[in-house]
């Protein structure tokens, strides 16, 4: 245990007033700290982004609008904006991307969440194959992607409304399914509660669920699983 605690103890972090930055997260968890843009001012996002980018070759900022992107770009000209995902990325790693992550979503309105997952997985070193609008009401559109689904090593399945898609998919594949409920819908959806409960009660084994609208969390988990199954765990 000594070694571990010693390493824990020595982990440096930086206090920039309103946030303490964890520069060694990359070492410990295999990915640098991510900035959740929501609830932060443009100035805060820019400041944190600059500091993190000084120590890392990759950067992810989620839930930001295009104005904030402009402000970040002034300081970090090589960032990229993903309008559908509402995310900013910076990737100077130049590393290859392993195939293996498939992202599916049930309807057009689930697309932003699906894109957040895909962009996250890509930045973490995975290729993300996208199949959108393949809801269960038109089963043939889904079955048409069966081959792609069955060759994946991790699937992110995004759905609102009745949230049945992950269960249907999990019944057809052997790889882990990361289910993401969305708040898309109305009435008895209760802000995504309906698909959330649906996914937690999936009759098909092999499904792990993340928070409503949490595309980032799903993409992160899928990329970790895919990376492990390609290269083995980082020692």
What gap in Å lies between CA 49 and CA 84, rounded to an integer?
A: 21
Q: Of the two residues 86 and 217, which places its CB atom closer to a copy of itself in the complex?
A: 217
Minimum CB distance to a copy of itself smaller for 41 or for 78? 41
**Residue number with CB closer to a copy of itself (8 or 66):** 8
Q: Judged by CB under 8 A, does residue 127 bind a copy of itself? A: no
Q: By CB under 8 A, which span of 51-59, 73-81, 91-99, 217-225 interacts with a copy of itself?
A: 217-225
The owner of tokens 């600059």 is 50
**Of these, 104, 134, 155, 158, which contacts a copy of itself (CB under 8 A)?**
134
Q: Does 141 bind a copy of itself (CB under 8 A)?
A: yes
Site string for a copy of itself, 29-68 (x = CB under 8 A): xxx--x---xxx---x------------------------
Q: Minimal distance in Å, beta carbon 73 to a copy of itself?
A: 22
* Given 64, 118, 158, 221, the residue binding a copy of itself (CB under 8 A): 221
Of 219, 102, 104, 105, whose CA–CA distance to 161 is shortest? 105
Instruction: Give the other-Cβ count within 10 Å of 38's Cβ.
Output: 9
Closest CA to 50 of 75, 23, 13, 20: 75
Task: Kindly state whether residue 207 participates in binding a copy of itself, applying the rule CB under 8 A.
Answer: yes
Beta strand spans in the chain (E): 14-15, 20-21, 35-36, 58-62, 80-82, 87-91, 98-105, 126-131, 154-159, 177-181, 207-209
Coil/strand/helix, residue 76: coil
Instruction: Tell me if 22 contacts a copy of itself by CB under 8 A.
Output: yes
Q: What minimum distance in Å lies between the beta carbon of 37 and a copy of itself?
A: 11
Residue 181 in the binding site for a copy of itself (CB under 8 A): yes
Count of residues making up the chain: 235
Do residues 183 and 163 touch, judged by C-beta distance below 8 A? no
In the complex, least distance from residue 77 CB atom to a copy of itself, rounded to whole angstroms: 26
Query: What residues pair up with 178 in beta bridges, in sequence order?
Result: 156, 208
- Separation CA 221–CA 195 (nearest Å): 19
Binding residues for a copy of itself restricted to 143-172, rule: CB under 8 A = 143-144, 146-147, 150-151, 153, 160-164, 167-168, 170-172
């Amino acid at each position: 245990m000594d070694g571990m605690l010693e390493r824990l103890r020595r982990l440096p972090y930086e206090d920039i007033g309103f946030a303490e930055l964890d520069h060694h997260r990359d070492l410990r968890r295999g990915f640098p700290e991510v900035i959740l843009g929501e609830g932060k001012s443009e100035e805060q996002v820019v400041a944190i982004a600059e500091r993190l980018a000084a120590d890392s070759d990759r950067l992810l900022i989620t839930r930001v609008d295009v104005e904030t992107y402009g402000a970040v770009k002034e300081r970090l000209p090589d960032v990229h904006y993903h309008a559908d995902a509402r995310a900013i990325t910076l990737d100077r790693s130049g590393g290859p991307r392993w195939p293996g992550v498939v992202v599916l979503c049930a309807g057009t309105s689930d697309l932003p969440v699906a894109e957040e997952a895909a962009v996250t997985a890509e930045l973490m070193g995975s290729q993300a194959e996208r199949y959108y609008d393949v809801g269960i009401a038109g089963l043939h559109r889904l079955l048409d992607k069966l081959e792609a689904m069955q060759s994946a090593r991790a699937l992110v399945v995004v759905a609102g409304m009745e949230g049945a898609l992950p269960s249907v998919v999990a019944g057809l594949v052997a790889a882990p399914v990361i289910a993401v409920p969305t708040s898309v819908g109305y009435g008895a959806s209760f802000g995504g509660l309906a698909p959330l409960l649906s996914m937690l009660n999936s009759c098909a084994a092999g499904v792990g669920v993340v928070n409503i609208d949490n595309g980032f969390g799903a993409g992160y988990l899928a990329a970790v699983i895919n990376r492990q199954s390609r290269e083995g765990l980082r020692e």
